[in-house]
Amino acid sequence: MTDRIDMNNIPQHIAIIMDGNGRWAAERGKPRSYGHQAGVDSVRRITSECTRLGVKYLTLYTFSTENWNRPVDEVSALMGLVLSSLEDEIFMKNDVRFRVIGDVNRLPKDVYAKLKETEEHTSKNKTMTMVVALSYSSKWEITKALKDIAEEVKEGKIDVNDIDEEKISGHLETNFMPDPDLLIRTGGEVRISNYLLWQIAYSELYFCDTYWPDFDEEALSKAIASYQSRQRRFGKTEKQVEDTQK
């Protein structure tokens, strides 16, 4: 199934905007929460497949700051799903370390406690790190980083001239991992929706119409094949890149 993929050029970090659960459910005449439930099955499938392929970081956009504006019922259904899916044996079975990024203080207490417990419980797992962005938005994250840095300057811990790209990256929620190589958005929308704005400066972007609950191993292998067909130039010329690969 994955024969189109070069196993020597697997993206180290894949970030996914998991979109389309609601429309998937509506097409079946079901409530939106049914789509979110099916979305959890996709998370399970894609997580296992990524560990099998040798991906080191998988960052999943699960609930944005803006999603707090959804109907209360939908928000609580989503919180319930986060809670129950953390009971899953998937982390230990696949040797996956779990991390959460976002404004977790806004989450219900039981969800917050379970997230922290899962982070701790899985902290020694090595095969892959799965990062869940919850109550997350990139503008929130960057604003917080700037405030923290300003505080350090004010306290005289650092000089204004010490502020460089590395310093800013180091104050983001994602400071424990490299930037994404590949960003996938399912569900047909071609936008970023406040996700990892700083970190995707040089990521390869891949958009597909498939709703998240239908996104399977084959769909993932298509995304990776697309990634592998591209030349990452980082500002250089095609020839310069080819010469360094010789």
Active-site residues, by number, are 19, 67
Which residues, other chains included, contact 68 with Cβ-Cβ below 8 Å and sequence gap of 6+? 75, 106, 135
Residue 186 interacting with ligand IPE (CB under 6 A):
no
Residue 19 interacting with Mg ion (CB under 5 A):
yes
- The one segment of 112-120, 188-196, 200-208, 238-246 that binds ligand IPE by CB under 6 A: 188-196
Residue 206 interacting with ligand IPE (CB under 6 A):
no
Q: Which residues pair with 182 in a beta bridge?
A: 14, 204
Residue 17 interacting with ligand IPE (CB under 6 A):
yes
Q: How many residues bind Mg ion (CB under 5 A)?
A: 1
The residue (of 66 and 95) whose beta carbon lies closer to ligand IPE is: 66
The residue (of 138 and 149) whose beta carbon lies closer to ligand IPE is: 138
CB 134 within 8 A of CB 100: yes
* Residues in contact with ligand IPE, shown as a per-residue x/- string from 75 to 94 under the rule CB under 6 A: ---x----------------
CB 53 within 8 A of CB 218: no
What are the φ and ψ backbone dihedral angles of 128, each rounded to 5 degrees? -150, 155
Residue 34 interacting with ligand IPE (CB under 6 A):
no
CA atoms in the 13 A half-sphere facing the CB of 160: 0
The residue (of 11 and 213) whose beta carbon lies closer to ligand IPE is: 213
Q: Give me the amino acid identity at 58.
A: L
Residue 173 interacting with Mg ion (CB under 5 A):
no
CB 180 within 8 A of CB 199: yes
